[in-house]
Chains A and B, each alone.
Chain A
Amino acid sequence: MTIVAMPILIPFALAISLLVFRTPKTCRWVGPLGSLAIFVVSLALFFRLKTSGILTLNVGGWEAPFGIVLVVDYLSALMLMVSSLILIAVSLFSIRFLPDDFPLPRFYFFFFTLTMGMNGAFTTGDVFNLYVWFEVMLISSFVLITMGKKKEQLEGGIKYLALNLLGSLLFLAGLGLLYGKTGTLNMAHLAEILKNDGQALLMNTSSILFFVAFGIKAAVFPLFFWLPSSYHTPNIAITSLFAGLLTKVGVYTLIRFFTLFFVHDQQFWHNLLLIVAGLTMVTGGMAAASYYETRRILSYHIISQIGYMIMGLGIFTPLAIAGAVFFTLHNMIAKTGAFIASGMIAKTKGSFHLKEVGGLYKQNPLLAVLFIVPAFALAGVPPLSGFFAKFMLIKAGIESGSYIITTVALLTSLLTLYSMIKIWNEAFLKKQPENHENQESIKLNWADYVPLAILATASVLMGIFAATVFTYTMEAANQLIEPAIYIDMVLRNRTP
C-alpha cells in the first residue's frame, strides 16, 4: 500500500524540485500546487481508510515489529487532511505577503521539509522514526524562524531553539529507557507488551520524559515559555504556518502515546494531565488579555487552547477524546485563520499594535467579516466549529464528574471571548487613532483574501456539518481507546 507513504514522499519530491529549479516564479506555482497535491492525497487516504479500515505499510518489506511501519488510522487521516488544508492556505498567503526580497526558493524548500517531517510524524508507527521526523520538522522550523536575519528574529530563534533542543534530548532519553525496558520501539508492539506487564509502573520514568518532551513541543503549562517569546518575531506567513501546525503535532503525539501504550497508572497520569490542562488554559488566557499586540495575543491564545486538547486527554472517555480531536482540528483551522487575518490587518495599516490601528470596519468590511469567523470560532460562538468542540469537551467533563476542570474551561472561554472582542473593538470598530493618522493604508487585492476565505469557509463548514465531523472524531476516539484493532492490524496485518 504505497499510498500511505505518499504524504511523506510528495513533499520530499517537491523539496528536491525546489533545489533544482530555484527561481521565485517556479516557487509561486510549486508551493500552492504542491500543497494541493498533498491535500488530494490525504483525501484519497481518508476515503481508502473509510472503506478498508486501518492502512499499514511495512517500509522496505520488513515485518512489523522489526521494521519501520507506517500506519494511518482515523486520527492520522484527519490530522493529515486538516494540516494539508492549512498548507494550501499558508502557501497562497505567503506568495502575497512575504516581502519582495525574501528568498522564496529557500522558504518553500523548508516549507516542504517541514511538511515532510510533520506528515511523517502523523503516519509513523515507530517511536524512533517519530524522533527522526520530529528532528526533520525541528531543523526546518529553526531555519524558517530565523529567516530574515534581523536582530529580533535571531533572538526569537535562539529562545525557540534552546527549549526545543532540550525537548528532543529528553525525547531521546525516554526512548532509550523505553527500549531498555521493553526491547521494542514499534508502537503497537509496545502496547501489546505493556498491556500485560505487571511492572508497568517502571515505565513512569520513561513516560514522564516523553511527557516533558512532548509538553515542550505542545507548549503546555510550565514548558510553554519559548512560544510567546518567539512566535511574534518572524514574518507573519511563517508564524501562521507554525501556529497552525507545530504545537498540534506535539498534541497529536501526546494523544497517541497516552492512549496507545502509556495507559498504566491512570490515576496519576489523568490527574496530572487535568492539572496541567487547567493551568495551561488559565495562564494562556490571562496573559493574552494583558497584551495589545495582535500576534502576542494570538500566541498566548495558542497556549490557552492547547489546554482544552490536554483536558480531553485527561478526562479519557471516548467522548472526551473525540472532543480533543475535534478541538485540535478546529483549532488548527481557526488559529491559522486568525493569524492570517492579523497579517492582513498589519498589511493594511502597517502595524500589529492595536493602539495604532482602527477604523477597519468602515474601510474594509470584507476583512471584518472574514476576521470574525475564525475569531468567534476560537471563542466558541455557535454555529461555528469551536462551539461544538467545546460542547463535546464540557459534556464529557460533566458526565465523568470532573467539575473543576469543566468550570475552568467555561471561564477560560470568557477570557478568549474578551481577547477576541478586544481585537475586534480596537482594530475594527474604534476610529483610527489621531496620532497615527498619517499612515496611509494599503488597498488589498482580491487574491489577498483567498487564503483567509478558504479557512473561514472550512470553519463554517465544520460547524454546519458538525454531525459528520463528530462521527469521524468519535470513530477516531474509539480506535484510540480500544487499541486492539490497531495492534492486530499493525502486527498481524488482519482485523480481529
Chain B
Amino acid sequence: MNSVILQIASKYVRWLLVIFSVIILIRGHNYPGGGFIGGLLAGLSLAYKGFAFTPELLKKEIKIKPEGYMGIGLILIFISIWPGVFLKTAIMQGVWFTIPFPFTEGFKFGTPFLFDIGVFFTVIGVTLLFLFSLSYEKIWK
C-alpha cells in the first residue's frame, strides 16, 4: 500500500496506541482490560508501520525481534510464579504490596500484575510473528 496519509499518520498514531495499551494493561486487574488486550494494541502499534509501508521494512527496522519480546514475556511470567511459594502457601499465589505514590493511595503492585506484564510482552511478540509469517510479499500497485 502506498498511502501518504497513512504513512504520516502512522508516526503519530503509533504512540497514541502505545500509551493507550499501557493504560489498558494497568487498569486490567479490576476492570475490563489486561495484558492480552493491551499486548494486542501494543503489537498493533508496531504493526501499524508494517501496514503503512511494508512488513519487510518493519522487520528490518524493529529493534527487538519477536522472539525477544516473547522471551522477555515468558521470563516475567516465570518469575511471577515463584513469590507465592516462598511468601504464601501455594505456587502462583498472588503476592501484593503497595508502592507509595504522592497524592494517591499508592500503586498496588503484585505478582498477578507481573504475570500480566509478561502476557503483554508475549502477545506483542506473537502479534509480530503472526504479521511476519502471514504477510504476502506482493507489492500492490
A–B interface present (Cβ within 8 A): yes
Do residues B93 and A61 form an inter-chain contact, with CB atoms below 8 A?
A: yes
For A19, the chain B residues whose CB sits under 8 A away are: 67, 70-71, 74
Interface 9-mer from A8-16, A255-263, A316-324, A435-443: A8-16
Interface 9-mer from B9-17, B29-37, B84-92: B84-92
Interface 9-mer from A52-60, A199-207, A482-490: A52-60
Assembly CA distance A331 to B85 (angstroms): 37
Known: A19-B67, A19-B70, A19-B71. Is A61-B78 also a contact (CB below 8 A)? Answer: no
Assembly CA distance A198 to B81 (angstroms): 42
Q: Which residue of B67, B89, B91 contacts A5 across the interface (Cβ within 8 Å)?
A: B91
A20 at the interface (CB under 8 A from B): yes
For B85, the chain A residues whose CB sits under 8 A away are: 2
For B89, the chain A residues whose CB sits under 8 A away are: 61
Assembly CA distance A292 to B91 (angstroms): 51
Interface of A is mostly: helix
Do residues A60 and B67 form an inter-chain contact, with CB atoms below 8 A?
A: no
Cβ distance A142 to chain B, nearest Cβ, rounded Å: 13
Assembly CA distance A164 to B89 (angstroms): 38
Do residues A60 and B93 form an inter-chain contact, with CB atoms below 8 A?
A: yes
For B70, the chain A residues whose CB sits under 8 A away are: 19
For A5, the chain B residues whose CB sits under 8 A away are: 91
Q: Which residue of A9, A57, A60 contacts B94 across the interface (Cβ within 8 Å)?
A: A60
For B8, the chain A residues whose CB sits under 8 A away are: none
Do residues A59 and B71 form an inter-chain contact, with CB atoms below 8 A?
A: no
Do residues B74 and A57 form an inter-chain contact, with CB atoms below 8 A?
A: no
Cβ distance B81 to chain A, nearest Cβ, rounded Å: 7
Most buried by A among B78, B91, B92, B93: B91
Known: A9-B81, A12-B78. Is A2-B71 also a contact (CB below 8 A)? Answer: no
Interface of B is mostly: helix
For B99, the chain A residues whose CB sits under 8 A away are: none
Do residues A60 and B74 form an inter-chain contact, with CB atoms below 8 A?
A: no
Assembly CA distance A59 to B92 (angstroms): 6
B75 at the interface (CB under 8 A from A): yes
Most buried by A among B88, B89, B90: B90
Cβ distance A272 to chain B, nearest Cβ, rounded Å: 39
Do residues A61 and B74 form an inter-chain contact, with CB atoms below 8 A?
A: no
For A12, the chain B residues whose CB sits under 8 A away are: 74, 78
Cβ distance A120 to chain B, nearest Cβ, rounded Å: 13
- Interface size grouping (class) on chain B: 10 to 19
Assembly CA distance A58 to B93 (angstroms): 9
Do residues A59 and B78 form an inter-chain contact, with CB atoms below 8 A?
A: no
Do residues A60 and B75 form an inter-chain contact, with CB atoms below 8 A?
A: no
Q: 8 Å CB contacts to B: which residues of A10-29? A: 12-13, 15-16, 19-20
Known: A12-B78, A13-B78. Is A20-B71 also a contact (CB below 8 A)? Answer: yes
Do residues B74 and A16 form an inter-chain contact, with CB atoms below 8 A?
A: yes
Do residues B90 and A16 form an inter-chain contact, with CB atoms below 8 A?
A: no
Q: Which residue of A13, A15, A16, A57 contacts B91 across the interface (Cβ within 8 Å)?
A: A57
Most buried by B among A9, A15, A19, A57: A19
For A59, the chain B residues whose CB sits under 8 A away are: 90-92
Q: Which residue of A9, A15, A58 contacts B90 across the interface (Cβ within 8 Å)?
A: A58
Known: A60-B93, A60-B94. Is A16-B88 also a contact (CB below 8 A)? Answer: no
Cβ distance B68 to chain A, nearest Cβ, rounded Å: 8
Cβ distance A190 to chain B, nearest Cβ, rounded Å: 22
Assembly CA distance A348 to B94 (angstroms): 55
For B67, the chain A residues whose CB sits under 8 A away are: 19
Do residues B90 and A60 form an inter-chain contact, with CB atoms below 8 A?
A: yes
Q: Which residue of B78, B92, B93 contacts A16 across the interface (Cβ within 8 Å)?
A: B78
For A16, the chain B residues whose CB sits under 8 A away are: 71, 74-75, 78
For A15, the chain B residues whose CB sits under 8 A away are: 74
Do residues A61 and B84 form an inter-chain contact, with CB atoms below 8 A?
A: yes
Assembly CA distance A60 to B111 (angstroms): 11
Nearest CB to that of A13 among chain B residues? B78
Cβ distance A186 to chain B, nearest Cβ, rounded Å: 16
Nearest CB to that of B75 among chain A residues? A16
Most buried by A among B74, B78, B92: B92
For B90, the chain A residues whose CB sits under 8 A away are: 2, 57-61
Assembly CA distance A59 to B89 (angstroms): 10
Nearest CB to that of A70 among chain B residues? B91
Q: Which residue of B71, B75, B88 contacts A61 across the interface (Cβ within 8 Å)?
A: B88
Nearest CB to that of B88 among chain A residues? A61
Do residues A60 and B78 form an inter-chain contact, with CB atoms below 8 A?
A: no
Cβ distance A41 to chain B, nearest Cβ, rounded Å: 14
Cβ distance A126 to chain B, nearest Cβ, rounded Å: 14
Assembly CA distance A58 to B85 (angstroms): 12
Assembly CA distance A19 to B66 (angstroms): 11
A-B contact pairs, 29 of them (CB 8 A): A2-B85, A2-B90, A2-B91, A5-B91, A9-B78, A9-B81, A12-B74, A12-B78, A13-B78, A15-B74, A16-B74, A16-B75, A16-B78, A19-B70, A19-B74, A20-B71, A20-B75, A57-B90, A57-B91, A58-B90, A59-B90, A59-B91, A59-B92, A60-B90, A60-B92, A61-B88, A61-B89, A61-B92, A61-B93
- Apart from A9-B81, A13-B78, A61-B84, what 12 extra A-B contacts exist at CB < 8 Å? A5-B91, A15-B74, A16-B71, A16-B75, A19-B67, A20-B75, A57-B90, A59-B90, A59-B92, A60-B84, A60-B93, A61-B90
Give the 3 A-B CB pairs with smallest separation, nearest first.
A61-B93, A61-B90, A19-B71
Which residues of A are in contact with B by a Cβ distance under 8 Å?
2, 5, 9, 12-13, 15-16, 19-20, 57-61
